[in-house]
Amino acid sequence: MTASASASVSPPRSRGRRPGALRIGLARGRVELLGIVREPMALFFTLCFPLFMMLMMGNVFQGDVADTGVPARQPLVAGMIGMGVMSSSFLSLAIGMAQDQSEGTLKRLWGTPAPYASYFIGKIVQVLVAVVLQTTVLLTVGVAAFDVRPPDTAGKWATLAWVVLLGTVACSMLGLLVGSLVRSGRAAPTVATAPFIVLQFISGVYFTLTSMPAWIQTAGALFPLKWVCQGIRSALLPDAFLAAEPAGSWEHAHTAMVLGAWTLAGFAAAVVAVRWQRRRDA
């Protein structure tokens, strides 16, 4: 009797393992990308606005950069790619995270079993896809419209890849930091856009750094955008353009150190800010 009763009792069903942060984060990244595709204005500012700026400014800049023989429009292409990297990472994350916080999205997320790291993985996936698409579009148009030569060696392609990737990560960490500190979604665009605009003018996006006062060159060198633009120039422009670089060299090692330092510092500060935010929301 006991044996038959025991045999009739079905064993408990084993519960499947809960999806990890990476799997959930990749799914969130897909949702973030669909959100951009379904929002025409967001798609425009992500892909079309930098292209529009490059075409407009490229028709304004004429002649060659002094002492280089390089058309002024070609370093502009490198600068616009660098600006696109910061726009898609820093600006997008700072505004997006602040708005998620203001709308209560993050507070609801903190109350679910999902690892909170999945939120940030999803955001980074969105940023990386946007940066790759934006860089591809700007470089393709730069080659077609402004006679920019794509990297002609494997080393230059590698330089373009690591500079864009490391610059994206560094600017993303800063975007997450700013987004976690700004409590108002309405204030976020102003808070994030103001330094973004200033950095464009002191980082060599539009003008050569050697044409600027020394104090502006020093100020620009403190931030990632200057080094992102310089690294991209090293991959796209001939060495003749070194005459217009403040150090007279591409400074790849210095670029890697500065972007790496900003990545580590931004990550550490963002972790502290997010933990403080979670305690505050709790």
Domain contains 14: no
169 pLDDT tier (thresholds 50, 70, 90): very high
Q: Backbone phi, then psi, for 122, in 5-degree steps?
A: -60, -40
Asked if residue 5 belongs to a domain, the reply is no
In a domain, 4, yes or no: no
Q: What are 90-106's pLDDT values in tens digits?
A: 998 998 888 888 877 77
Total domain count, the chain = 1
Q: Is residue 12 part of a domain?
A: no
In a domain, 255, yes or no: yes
Cα 255 to Cα 170, 196, 226, 264, distances in angstroms:
12, 19, 9, 14
Q: Let me know if residue 9 belongs to a domain.
A: no
Single pTM value for the model: 0.87
| Cβ-contact 175, 93 below 8 angstroms | yes
Return the higher-pLDDT residue of 104 and 82: 82
Query: For residue 27, what pLDDT band results from cuts at 50, 70 and 90?
Result: confident
* Number of C-beta neighbours around residue 140 at 10 A: 13
pLDDT band of 8, cuts 50, 70, 90: very low
Contact residues for 32 (Cβ-Cβ < 8 A; gap 6+)? 122, 123, 125, 126
Say which DSSP state 103 is in.
T
**Burial class of residue 111, CB neighbours in 10 A (0-12, 13-18, 19+):** exposed
Average pLDDT on 109-126 reads 77
Residues 132, 92, 48: CA angle, nearest 5 degrees: 55
Range of the domain at 219: 19-281
* SS3 call for 71: strand
The radius of gyration of the chain from alpha carbons, rounded to an integer in Å, stands at 23
Instruction: Answer whether residue 8 is part of any domain.
Output: no
- pLDDT tens column, 175-185: 988 988 887 87
Average per-residue pLDDT in the chain? 85
In a domain, residue 218? The reply is: yes
Q: How far apart are CA 113 and CA 206, in angstroms?
A: 47
Q: What is the pLDDT of residue 3?
A: 47
- CA nearest to 156, candidates 235, 252, 231: 235
Q: Which two tokens stand for residue 13?
A: 């069903």
Q: Nearest-5° angle of CA 182, CA 201, CA 236?
A: 110
* pLDDT of 20: 72
Distances (CA, A) of 76 to 43, 146, 148, 177: 23, 10, 10, 29
Helices 92-102 & 117-146 angle (0-180, nearest 10) = 150
Query: For 216-258, what is each residue's pLDDT tens digit?
Result: 999 999 999 999 999 999 999 999 999 999 999 999 999 999 9
